[in-house]
Every structure is written in C-alpha cells, then in structure tokens.
Amino acid sequence: MRNSRKLMQLIKNNCQNREQVGYQIKQQSPLANAGENRPAFLIYDVIDSWWGVSAEMIKRDLLTVSDATDIDVYINSPGGDVFEATAIYSSLKAHPAKIHVHIDGIAASAATRIALAGDTIEIADSGFYMIHYAWTLALGNAQEIRDTADMLDKVDNTIVNDYEKRTEAGEKQVRNWMQAETWFTAQEALEHGFVDSIMQDGSTDQTTNKAWDLTTYQNAPEPKAPENTFPRRERLERFANMLLATS
C-alpha cells in the first residue's frame, strides 16, 4: 500500500540518529504573566506513538496541569499518525484551559489536526501549513483493509468538517485543497482562516527550530538556502586580503 510506505518513510526520515523525542512541557510559559497558571507544551517532532510525540505523552502532562487557565502549544512538526493526532486534538479540546497554538515552523499533515485545537492560532512569518487526506497503516485480509479504508473516510470527514468550520470555506474547496496536498504560506493560511495571526519578527524561538525531511510529500516547499552565506565569505576574503597586505 503506497500511503503506508509513505507514512513509514516520513517517520524514518525524521526519527533517525537522535537521542530524544522533540517534546517538552514547561510549567510556566514564557508568555505567562506574574501569578498566571500558564504552562507550555513544545511539540517539535513527528506525531507517532513509537518514535515521536504520542497522545499518551500529551494526555499524561495535561492531567498534571488540570487547573491551568491558559496553555501555550508550540508546534513544528511534519505530521505523522492521524489517530494519535486526533487523540491529542481531543485531549486539548477537552481541557478547560484556553489553548493558544503557535506554529513556529511547519504544521503539516496530522500536525494541523493538533493545531485545530487552538482557541487562538498564530504562525511564524516563514511558516507553512499543509493539509491532505489522512494516511494510515493497514494489516489483515481484504475485508479488514476495506474496513480500515472506511474508517479513514470517517476520519477525513471529521477533519474536513473541522477545516470547514475553521476557515468558513465550503466542503468542496476544502476537499480540493486536501486532494492536492496543499502547502499554505503564513499569509495564505491567514487569508483562508487557518490561523488568526502571523507572529511578529523575533517572537519565535529559532534556537530550537528544526529542518524536517519533507521528501515524502509531493508538493513540499524547497528548503531555504543558508542565510548570510555571501557576507560570511566576504568577511573571510577581507581577512585574507588583510593578511596578505600586512605580510
């Protein structure tokens, strides 16, 4: 099954050669005011119960902050398991706190399902938001695999419904976006209503940003070239010329 291989490849590409899962919880968000009970959840990984951020992790930590009034959820994720993401979404929606989602880099595929839990959603100016039809793994006989496909249709229907409510776009438009595996820039995500605002420069913690391997996806944006390459080379050349001039 092609989509099953794609899901496994996504996990493999982004979970190799690392020491720990990109997930943290801080009891006090950097956005909290004095005396405010406002924790922060950092989801900087694949969404997966074995290799990445799982629904169990999120639920376990949400239970420890049951009296929080606000929760900040920071996302930079290439996606992953739709059922894990749905469980995370449900856990966040069920929490009494107001959920503030901050997309620091990419919210792709299943990660957008998590982002939908936000009462407020903002995205970095250079961020991306990608939606497509759900993937999953299926094992068993023909009937069991057909049942899995039927379940995926039901999952897609719930996601389409949530995208519709979030964007106020019609069902046909949302399904066209999902069928085309659409990548929205920050400005496009704002224009279509997937997010409420674009972060101001400097509001994202770039020190923890990650560059994901997105080759599994059909229409993924090209990775940006390293910044300041020419100025760095220019400084080295000037230094070399200075040494020649003084030798």
pLDDT along the chain (247 residues), means of 10: 51 57 90 94 92 94 96 94 92 97 94 96 95 81 91 90 92 95 95 94 47 63 50 48 49
Residue 220: per-residue pLDDT = 66
Q: Is 200 buried (19+), middle (13-18) or exposed (0-12) by CB count in 10 A? A: exposed
Phi-psi region of 243 (alpha: psi -120 to 50; beta: other; left: phi over 0): alpha
Per the document, the length of the chain is: 247
Beta strand segments in the chain, E? 23-26, 40-43, 70-77, 98-108, 120-123, 128-131, 182-185, 197-198
Instruction: Give the residue from 2, 60, 71 showing the smallest Cα distance to 32.
Output: 71
Q: What is the pLDDT of residues 14-34, one digit of tens each?
A: 555 456 678 999 999 999 999
Residue 213: per-residue pLDDT = 62
Rounded-to-integer distance, Cα 97 and Cα 92, Å: 9
Rounded-to-integer distance, Cα 76 and Cα 47, Å: 11
Contact 56, 80 (CB under 8 A): no
CA distances from 13 to 54, 77, 130, 162, 231 (A): 18, 13, 18, 29, 32
Residue 135: per-residue pLDDT = 72
Q: What is the pLDDT of residues 146-176, one digit of tens each?
A: 998 898 899 899 999 999 999 989 999 999 9
For residue 67, the Cα-to-chain-centroid distance in whole angstroms is 26
